[in-house]
Each structure stands twice: as C-alpha cells, then as structure tokens.
C-alpha cells in the first residue's frame, strides 16, 4: 500500500505580509480563524515547492522512482495523485540543469506541474466509469489535458479547447512530447462551446480563467494589480463559461469546475449561480473521499478549497457536479461547420502499404489502427476513437497525430510516430550515448562507425524513443523537427 505522508511545513515569520494588498488581507481574515490566518499569511511568503507528475503513458511510477533514485532525486508523494511528487534535487544540479532542461523531461517521462493543479482531473475521474468523451474548456498549457489523457490510457477522445491562439503552440508541444494521441485541438470561445457541442460529452473540465490569488507563492506579481472590481469581472465571465460548459454535458455526465483563486465570488457563488439557473438537473457531488485528510479543505457544499497552508501548495478551488437525467431537454440548434472536411479515410491498399512498411522495417504491427487512419494529401493521420460524432460542430485545429508521409520513393515517419509508438519498435533502433542524444536535439547528425545500410532508424536513449533519423553515407541524418530542437538539454543515464 502506498504510504501517504503529510508534508512537513516550516513557515517563516509573517513580517513580510505587508507586501500583500490590504484589502486582500482583510478578505482572507474574514474567511479564516485568526490562528489559521496567521498560518495562511506565513505560507504566502514561503517559496513554493517544485512538483512533477510521472507520465505513465511512457514509464510506470515504480520504474521512474528507480530511475531517479540513481540520480539522487528526492521525491515525496502528493496525497491526491498517485503519479505526483514533490521533488528536491541537489543545489548544484538545480543551478546547472533546470528540470525543464533534463533529458527525462525532454523525453516526456514527466511533466512539471503544481501539486494543486493535479486535483481537478483526479476529481473528474474519481469513482466514475464509462468516460469516453471529455472536453477541456480552457486547455493551455496542457497540464490537465495531458493528465486526463494518461488517466484514460490514450483511449477515447479529449477535445482540448483554447481561446488564446498564442497559447496553442505550447499546448500542442506538450501533447506531442508526452506521447498523447487521443486529443482534438480547437480554438473557440468557451462561452459558445455549449451551442456547438450540445450534450456531447461524458465529462467536462472547466479550469476557469480567474484572478489567480492562489498563485502568489509561485508568482510574486500575481496580486500586483489585484482588486475587488477584477474579482467581480472575472466572476461574470466564469458564470457564462460554466453555463456554456454545462450545456455541452450529457445527462448523467460530470463536470469539474476549478480555479487557482480564493475568492468566494469566483468559486462558490459561480456554482450556486449554476444551480439556480438549472435547479432540477444540477447535483453537487461531494469530494470528501477524494484523498486522505481532505476534510480539512471541504466546504459545506462538498467542494474543496485548498488554502496554501493546508498542504503546502498553491491555493485552489475544486467543485464537481453531475447533470441529472430527467425528461429529455429541448435540443438547441447546433452550428454546423460548413467548411469541407479536408481528410478522407485511407484506402485499404495504402493502409496495407503503411502497415507492411512498419512491420517489415521496425517490427511494429499497426494493423489494429484500421478505420482510424485518415489522409490529407500525402499525410497519414491516426484519429482518436469516437471522434466522428464531433465532426461538423466546429473547425478543429488538429485531430490526433500524424503517422507518416507517403512519397514516391518511400515512407517518411513523423516525430509523433516516434513519441507515441517508438517504444514498441523491435528493429532498426539505434541507442545513443548522452553526448549523442544532446547532439541530436541540437539538430546535429550522428556519425556511424560500424552500422551500414540505409533508410529510417529510430534513435533512443536508455531505451526511450527520441525521434527518427535516416542512415546515409556513414552517418545518421537528423530528422528532428526544427520546432523541437534544443541546444540546452542535458541527458543523464538512469
């Protein structure tokens, strides 16, 4: 049985609390007892511990723990996420190699994620079965999308929506790096999502944009422009978003609403507003059994209000509701996307050509992909399960992953193919040293001393796939996409 250890917290004196806005201090004092308010203020001025989530799509938790034990990383379990850990490393290593520049991070073995941020996905799937379709209303940068994909084992389909176009690139980058293939990316206003996807999803996560009061420990500027006026403005948007998300939820489905703020206007009042709007079909689902000792964060309605001092984390709020099944609601008119869908199913003959190539060249059987293979021009794509029911609702930015490109001279594999299925290849794999792996991500070719032949080769480090190269003229020509290349990654064998 996995032992849950309560974090040992030693807070500094509250002498720096004057850095917080006075109105904010007074509001929180009204919400907490005097002794607890002192602990809260002390937590606010204590640096936030680093935390990570093991990506179980690529490595098991026991294997990861053994791998980092050799690196002398100290991991402390996070109570509400079996894949989550607070992490501590030697000071010299922290200074020389930030977590985001380690080879293990680049290979997608873990995701840097604040501990409280791991709560909403866990709440959404807690004691639920039959979740095949999920909507993440505000997905970037992908912390919760990638966590849900891991919980689902890359099965089903997740619509990862993001209003900000500038944040879509980072969202896709994280999805690609972690080897996720059951997502569909779209760029739409969350306020209209209910019209587009009326009662289309088994589960919905709305991690709403907020005033971010709870992030002060990580970002000292979070409260720089704080005001009660901004709280009320944020609450108006949140109420629109949750009504829209609720419209997109199937009867019997569950919705989790979360914020990284502490104000009741942006949290409890948003939930109560939803129940007042739909009194017959909104059911609050208590989260009292989500993790050990969570009762200290439980509200009267069964929501979780995670104060920073309770579990030595960011401030967070999590609420879960279920849409009751009653007499069928009148279906609202959904807007159809008139733009022609640019993909067509891959014909059987081309499917067989692709399947033969991967079986003969890499020893990998993809015949089970079947009708999930679609094409656009010379590109072959693998789409998520059950995506067809969502077609025509909205213009999607990206569906699933690319497998390869088919050319007259042969097949060229995609980087996503390596990230998702490279660990299953049994032939034409070349293991790289630390120096060679760092050179590969610096967009350098790899010299060959003994190997002969030509064609594609999967490059690996410690048996984990890095990407593809092509053997030619005594070297491996680098096939890493330019957007992925980095010259600051440090690899260390596990």
Please say whether the beta carbons of 461 and 437 come within 8 A: yes
Between CA 310 and CA 33 the distance in angstroms is 13
The residues assigned a catalytic role are: 260
pLDDT at 13: 43
Higher-confidence residue of 25 and 305: namely 305
Q: Using alpha carbons only, what angle is made at residue 157 by residues 119 and 86, rounded to the nearest 5 degrees?
A: 25
34 has a pLDDT exceeding 90: no
pLDDT surpasses 50 at 16: no
Could you tell me which of 11, 87, 7, 89 has the C-alpha nearest to residue 46? 11
| Structure-model confidence comparison of residues 409 and 143, the more confident one | 143
Q: Read off the pLDDT band of 3 (50, 70, 90).
A: very low
Exposed, middle or buried: residue 28 (CB in 10 Å: 0-12, 13-18, 19+)?
A: buried
450-471 pLDDT, tens digit per residue, is 766 679 999 999 999 999 999 9
* Partners of 471 in the β-ladder: 455, 476
Q: Give the strand order in the sheet containing 455-461.
A: 429-431, 455-461, 464-472, 475-478, 446-447
Q: What is the DSSP letter of 138?
A: S
Residue 190: the pLDDT is: 93
Q: Taking 50 as the threshold, does the pLDDT of residue 5 lie above it? A: no
Inter-residue long-range contacts of 465-470, CB under 8 Å, 24+ positions, other chains counted: 465/107, 465/418, 465/419, 465/422, 465/423, 465/425, 466/107, 466/418, 466/432, 466/437, 466/440, 466/441, 467/415, 467/418, 467/419, 467/440, 468/413, 468/415, 468/417, 468/418, 469/430, 469/440, 469/445
pTM of the predicted model as reported, rounded to 2 decimal places: 0.93
Q: What is the DSSP secondary-structure string of 313-358?
A: S--EEEEEEEE---SPPPPPPPPP--SPP--EEPPHHHHHHHHHHH
pLDDT digits (tens, 9 = 90+) for 262-310: 999 999 999 999 999 999 999 999 999 999 999 999 999 999 999 999 9
At residue 142, does pLDDT exceed 50? yes
- The reported pLDDT for the residue numbered 18 is 52
Residue 150 confidence (pLDDT) above 70: yes
Percent helix, percent strand, percent coil in the chain, to nearest 5: 35, 25, 40
Q: Is the pLDDT reported for residue 15 higher than 50?
A: no
Other Cβ atoms within 10 Å of 240 Cβ, number? 15
Q: How far is Cα of residue 408 from the mean position of the Cα atoms in its chain?
A: 37
- pLDDT reported for residue 390: 85
pLDDT of residue 336: 57
In this structure, are residues 411 and 402 in contact, taking their beta carbons and an 8 Å threshold? no
> For residue 27, which of 300, 288, 211 has the smallest C-alpha distance?
211
Tell me the backbone φ, ψ of residue 387, rounded to 5 degrees: -80, -20
Average pLDDT over residues 394-420: 95
pLDDT, tens only, 182-195? 999 999 999 999 99
pLDDT class for 11, splitting at 50, 70, 90?
very low
Helix (H, G, I), strand (E, B) or coil at 429: strand
Terminal Cα distance for the chain, rounded: 25
Question: What pLDDT was estimated at residue 243?
Answer: 98
Average pLDDT of the segment spanning 373-387: 95
pLDDT tens digits, one per residue of 300-343: 999 999 999 999 999 999 999 999 998 655 555 455 554 678 99
- pLDDT tens digits, 122-135: 999 999 999 999 99
CB 228 within 8 A of CB 177: no
Average pLDDT estimate for 205-234: 92
Q: Is the peptide bond before 141 cis (omega within 30 degrees of 0)?
A: yes
Give yes or no for a contact between 222 and 203, defined as CB atoms under 8 angstroms apart: no
Dump the DSSP string for 140-160: TT-HHHHHHHHHTTT-SEEEE
Residue 176 pLDDT exceeds 70: yes
CB 407 within 8 A of CB 416: no
Residue 42: the pLDDT is 87
**For residues 100 and 256, what is the distance between their CA atoms, to the nearest angstrom?**
29
Least confident window among 376-390, 412-426, 431-445: 376-390
Q: Quick one: pLDDT at residue 386?
A: 84
Mean pLDDT, rounded, of the chain: 91
- What's the pLDDT score for residue 2? 39
Alpha-helical regions (H) of 45-167: 61-71, 91-96, 103-106, 119-125, 143-151
Q: What is the pLDDT of residue 327?
A: 64
Q: Which of 133-137, 348-352, 444-448: highest mean pLDDT?
A: 133-137
Look at residue 331 in the predicted model and tell me its pLDDT. Answer: 58
Q: Residue 494: is its pLDDT beyond 90?
A: no
pLDDT of residue 46: 87
Distances in Å between the Cα of 286 and the Cα atoms of 179, 271, 290 are 33, 13, 9
pLDDT, tens digit (0-9, with 9 covering 90-100), for 222-252: 888 899 999 999 999 999 999 999 999 999 9
Averaged pLDDT, 386-401: 87
| Strand partners for 344 | 375
pLDDT recorded at residue 33: 85
pLDDT above 90 for 371: no
Pairwise pLDDT comparison (284 vs 393), residue with the higher score: 284
3-class state of residue 461 by DSSP: strand
Distance between CA 86 and CA 52 in Å, rounded? 6
Quick count: other Cβ atoms within 10 Å of Cβ 352? Answer: 12
Please enumerate in sequence order all residues whose Cβ is within 8 A of that of 424, keeping only pairs 6 or more positions apart, or say none.
364
354 alpha carbon, distance to own chain's centre? 30
């Amino acid at each position: 049985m996995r032992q849950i250890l309560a974090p040992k917290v030693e807070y500094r004196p509250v002498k720096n609390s004057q850095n917080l806005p006075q109105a904010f201090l007074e509001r929180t004092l009204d919400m907490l007892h005097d002794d607890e308010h002192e602990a809260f203020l002390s937590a606010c001025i204590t640096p936030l511990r680093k935390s990570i989530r093991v990506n179980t799509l690529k490595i098991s938790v026991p294997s990861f723990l053994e791998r980092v034990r050799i690196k002398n990383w100290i991991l402390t379990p996070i109570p509400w996420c079996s894949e989550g850990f607070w992490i501590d490393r030697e000071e010299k290593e922290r200074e020389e190699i930030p977590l985001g520049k380690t080879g293990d991070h680049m290979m997608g073995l873990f995701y840097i994620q604040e501990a409280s941020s791991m709560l909403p996905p866990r709440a959404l799937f807690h004691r639920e079965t039959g979740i095949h379709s999920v909507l993440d209303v505000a997905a970037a940068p992908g912390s919760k999308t990638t966590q849900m994909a891991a919980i689902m084992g890359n099965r089903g389909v997740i619509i990862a929506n993001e209003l900000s176009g500038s944040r879509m690139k980072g969202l896709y980058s994280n999805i690609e790096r972690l080897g996720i293939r059951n997502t569909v990316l779209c760029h739409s206003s969350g306020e209209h999502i209910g019209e587009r996807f009326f009662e289309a999803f088994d589960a919905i996560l709305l991690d709403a944009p907020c005033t971010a009061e709870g992030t002060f420990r990580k970002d000292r500027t979070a409260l720089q422009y704080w005001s009660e006026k901004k709280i009320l403005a944020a609450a108006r948007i949140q109420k629109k978003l949750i009504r829209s998300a609720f419209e997109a939820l199937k009867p019997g489905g569950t919705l989790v609403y979360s914020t990284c703020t502490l104000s009741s206007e942006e949290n409890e009042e948003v939930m109560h507003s939803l129940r007042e709007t739909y009194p017959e079909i909104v059911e609050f689902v208590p989260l009292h059994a989500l993790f050990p000792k969570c009762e200290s964060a439980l509200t009267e309605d069964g929501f979780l209000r995670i104060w920073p001092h309770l579990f030595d984390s960011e401030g967070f709020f999590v609420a879960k509701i279920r849409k009751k099944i009653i007499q069928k609601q009148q279906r609202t008119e959904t807007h159809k996307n008139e733009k022609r869908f640019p993909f067509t199913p891959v014909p059987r003959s081309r499917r067989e050509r692709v399947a033969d190539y991967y079986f003969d060249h890499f020893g990998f059987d993809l015949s089970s992909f079947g009708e999930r293979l679609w094409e656009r021009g010379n590109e072959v794509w693998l789409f998520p399960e059950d995506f067809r029911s969502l077609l025509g609702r909205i213009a999607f930015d990206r569906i699933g992953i690319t497998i390869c490109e088919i050319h007259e001279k042969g097949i060229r594999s995609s980087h996503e193919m390596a990230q998702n299925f490279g660990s299953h290849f049994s032939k034409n794999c070349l293991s790289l040293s630390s120096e060679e792996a760092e050179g590969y991500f610096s967009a350098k070719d790899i010299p060959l001393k003994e190997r002969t032949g030509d064609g594609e080769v999967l490059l690996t480090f410690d048996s984990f796939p890095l990407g593809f190269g092509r053997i030619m003229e005594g070297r491996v020509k680098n096939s890493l996409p330019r957007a992925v290349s980095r010259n600051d990654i440090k690899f260390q064998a596990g």
